[in-house]
Structure 1
């Protein structure tokens, strides 16, 4: 009898001390800073267990809208993914919180690594035997941004047909259509890091922040090409690429634009977030001075003040 009572006590104690989960779907490019945020957040709020799942931003959104996966927060490498795929049914607001820019990552063993520079990199990527990686444009913003960068190259460097010569795509990307002798595609940009480090590819279209976080060599692109300068918004618009829409058979035309990340609290139909209080606390922690320090340490510039669109009144409910 005493043994049974003791076991019951242990079970009750375990339940009372069980941590509340905060489920976060986020872009692969946020993996490193969000791991650090998780550690610091749980140190401040030990009652919570942050559970993160990284994927391409559009893939994250579709886990929520199509697969009906439970989540409290979604953070996207392109704020427009939240606007286009989650709002209004699965989210009510969008916070633009950090920026980034595109870069070309490589290693010392990449072909022509000793030659490449900001002037000749388009020509080197077109050379025979050079393998190039990018993420899937239909799943990951880094993928369609890679396409937009390649199109801006034609205008800035005056190289006619660069986009088609490099990728061989038309105005959109269908899975498996890449020239496998030249191009390697994976669901998200961080999936390609291992291939680069294993020398299975020579060059990788990737975010500058990710290249810095992983200690990679990378080529800084001219601001007219990098999608990293808010003053060049009109210039970037000249590049366009089609990606799949909300429903099968529909398309969204992506235009070049300065890179801005977005974050929101997920609402599941007519239900409130699974962990409303925890989600609000995490968002506020992200937007705090500590959150800013972590993001900027990892190569992503904080937007100050943060731009909030939609109804963010939930943030005042804590």
Structure 2
């Protein structure tokens, strides 16, 4: 019993080519907790996070969900983080000011990603997306469509907004009802961080995704007409009660740096000239320096 107890207290060892080594360890104050929009899962976990760790020696720990959902958890004191990356500037506004808990003082718009209609290439409806207008295919009997909750995620709200505009553009008053059903239709509405996986596994035939998702994961996709275009406007900020403020500054510096922006472009994100909203004076000096360099 004593041996088992002692064994449980010893960190597991990794054997590599005959050499016994301990796994890398990070002190808690070296860990940067980043709360980010679920559409960025692949980018953050497989690219930005590892690159940040390699460049700084600090640990990246991510949490993905709908932007509004994260904001609600922050306001409800259900979740704390160092950096918050949202898919809509409006979400930041809901965290600013004393009445909203004063969680955010400033934020930076740094990238965009248009809303697309993605589909599973193995779906029985795949060929129709190549021969018919996308809204006609979405009305086919039996097609399984996925989208996010318009109350918890900007992408879900953009979806409803785009379909409402499409109904007018294509002179189909009942288009929204035929394709989406009710705004919170349980047969379609899914957590943002699971939507891609469900499409890829064949549980869905089609869904609404940002271009960063479709481009990054090679999902066949269609871009709506310019009159219907909606897009994510990604923002980032350091939360006022960040447990690791120094680490948060380091992460933001990295993401807005030349290397970070190059990684964003590689993953299908449209990098834009950074613009700041809120109290500019509250921005850490190193972040301001990176912003100045990116604006040139």
TM-score computed with the length of structure 2 as normaliser: 0.80
More helix by share: 2
Q: Which runs of 5+ in 1 are unaligned?
A: 1-15, 229-258
For residue 302 of structure 1, what is the aligned residue in structure 2? 271
**Partner deviation per Cα, 1:208-265 (whole Å, 9 max, x = no partner):** 210111121111222222225xxxxxxxxxxxxxxxxxxxxxxxxxxxxxx3111111
Please tell me whether residue 86 in structure 1 is matched to residue 95 in structure 2. Answer: yes
Within the candidate set 62, 86, 100, 2:113 is matched to 100
Single out whichever of 111-120 and 23-32 deviates more from structure 2: 111-120
For residue 240 of structure 2, what is the aligned residue in structure 1? 267
Please tell me whether residue 65 in structure 1 is matched to residue 75 in structure 2. Answer: yes
RMSD: 2.0
**Partner deviation per Cα, 1:40-68 (whole Å, 9 max, x = no partner):** 2222211x211111111111112211134
Q: CA deviation at 1:117?
A: 4.2
Q: Do the aligned residues in 2 keep the contact of 1:117 with 1:219 (CA within 8 Å)?
A: no
Within the candidate set 209, 223, 226, 1:223 is matched to 226
For residue 162 of structure 2, what is the aligned residue in structure 1? 149
4+ long deviations beyond 4 Å? none
CA pair 293-118 structure 1, distance change in 2 beyond 3 A: farther
For residue 56 of structure 1, what is the aligned residue in structure 2? 66
State the alpha-carbon separation in 1 of the partners of residues 77 and 49 from structure 2.
25
Q: Do the aligned residues in 2 keep the contact of 1:90 with 1:267 (CA within 8 Å)?
A: yes
Q: Do the aligned residues in 2 keep the contact of 1:118 with 1:222 (CA within 8 Å)?
A: no
**Partner deviation per Cα, 1:157-198 (whole Å, 9 max, x = no partner):** 2222211222222xxx45xxx2x6xx421121x312222223
Q: Do the aligned residues in 2 keep the contact of 1:56 with 1:139 (CA within 8 Å)?
A: yes
State the alpha-carbon separation in 2 of the partners of residues 289 and 207 from structure 1.
23
State the alpha-carbon separation in 1 of the partners of residues 276 and 248 from structure 2.
16
Q: Do the aligned residues in 1 keep the contact of 2:120 with 2:204 (CA within 8 Å)?
A: no
Within the candidate set 210, 217, 223, 1:207 is matched to 210
Q: Which runs of 5+ in 2 are unaligned?
A: 1-24, 288-296
Q: CA deviation at 1:69?
A: 1.9
CA pair 290-149 structure 1, distance change in 2 beyond 3 A: same
For residue 289 of structure 1, what is the aligned residue in structure 2? 258
What SS does the aligned partner of 2:127 have? coil
CA pair 107-20 structure 1, distance change in 2 beyond 3 A: same
TM-score computed with the length of structure 1 as normaliser: 0.75
